[in-house]
Amino acid sequence: MASGMITPSVFLGFVFLVAVVSASDGDESDGCSGTANYVMSFQGLWKEDRHPNTSLPGNAHFSPLVGCSHGSGYVMWHPCAKASPGVKSVAETGVTGTLVTEINTQITAKKAWKLILPGGPQLGPEAIKTGIDVEVTANFSKVSIITMLAPSPDWFIGIDSLDLCDSGKWRESVNVTMLPPWDAGTENGTAFSISNAASNPPVNISEITNNTAGAFNGPNPIPSLGEFRFVKTDEPAEPTEKSTAMSTMATTTDSSVSKASASFAVFVSTALILDQLLF
Ligand SMILES: [Ca+2]
């Protein structure tokens, strides 16, 4: 196209752009809309300086990550609350099956959206795992995930109900940079060992600090044992992730994504054309 020419299609594109912007301006609400996809990454930072008085145990590792995106009606785990059987199983043994069943029950009850279970082998103490897909929606904008510190009695790190929606907008990226160790309250023991008596009765999930007797006790606060990073991606949801139980909602959110993608395409192409015209 020759510089300086405004064709009817360019003009219509500009009018459409104005219409799209006007429509979105008048449609603000407290919640986020549609579906958002994130790429999640995990980095282990389990180093001996986290517990300088105790050596890193042999075969120190994180168990397979497990969690879900969910709404306000489900709390996978929470400080000062009892661990569910699924969280207990992960914290004590790293085995995810019971927690996966709990999450699937919540998905059926429309309190959770997608299981996060990237699989793969156990993660070394300083491993990096990337490329984990996380899908959230307007009604299921939170993420919870855990992984066991192994070997240990019932210790884990994780995220409790991180909301990827902030004041009506999907966050572009989130770094969770402080992951302290937690005690699930289900098994006794103060050292990096898996053979311990059960806590009877179980007690609440509690944070392990440098003042806690045992492996992490020391004069200085415990630095983070890992980091999670979420980066928003423009990739639409995979159609194969639709579940029959959520078909109505899936159709709605997919439609929203399509509309958003179309608006974005118009915005980009119009911006490029205007750029050519004006500069
Ligand atoms: Ca314990």
Q: What are phi and psi of 122, to 5 degrees?
A: -60, 155
Q: Strands 226-233 and 173-176, how do they pair?
A: antiparallel
Contact status, residue 216 vs residue 50, Cβ threshold 8 Å: yes
Element (H, E) at 269: helix 247-278
Q: Among residues 152, 145, 165, which one has the least CA distance to residue 29?
A: 165
Q: How far is the CA of 198 from the centre of ligand 1 (A)?
A: 8
Q: Which two tokens stand for residue 273?
A: 């054309």
Cα of 251 from ligand 1 centre, angstroms: 44
- The tens-digit pLDDT sequence of the chain (279 residues) is 344 444 555 444 444 443 333 333 333 346 899 999 999 999 999 999 999 999 999 999 999 999 999 999 999 999 999 999 999 999 999 999 999 999 999 999 999 999 999 998 899 999 999 999 999 999 999 999 999 999 999 999 999 999 999 999 999 999 999 999 999 999 999 999 999 999 999 999 999 999 999 999 999 999 999 999 999 998 644 433 222 222 222 332 333 333 333 332 333 233 333 333 332
The pLDDT of residue 30 is: 66
CA 205 to ligand 1 center in whole angstroms: 8
The pLDDT score that the predictor gives to residue 235 is 64
The pLDDT, as a whole number, for residue 164 is 98
From ligand 1's centre to the CA of 67, what distance in Å?
21
- What backbone phi and psi angles, to 5 degrees, belong to 145? -160, 145
CATH number assigned to the domain covering 35-233:
2.60.40.2130
Q: Which long-range contacts (CB under 8 A, 24 or more apart) does 264-270 make?
A: 264/234, 266/13, 266/16, 266/17, 266/20, 267/17, 267/20, 269/13, 270/10, 270/13, 270/14, 270/16, 270/17
Residue 259 CA, ligand 1 centroid: distance in Å: 49
Give the predicted TM-score (pTM) of the model. Answer: 0.74
Gap between the Cα atoms of 104 and 102, Å rounded: 6
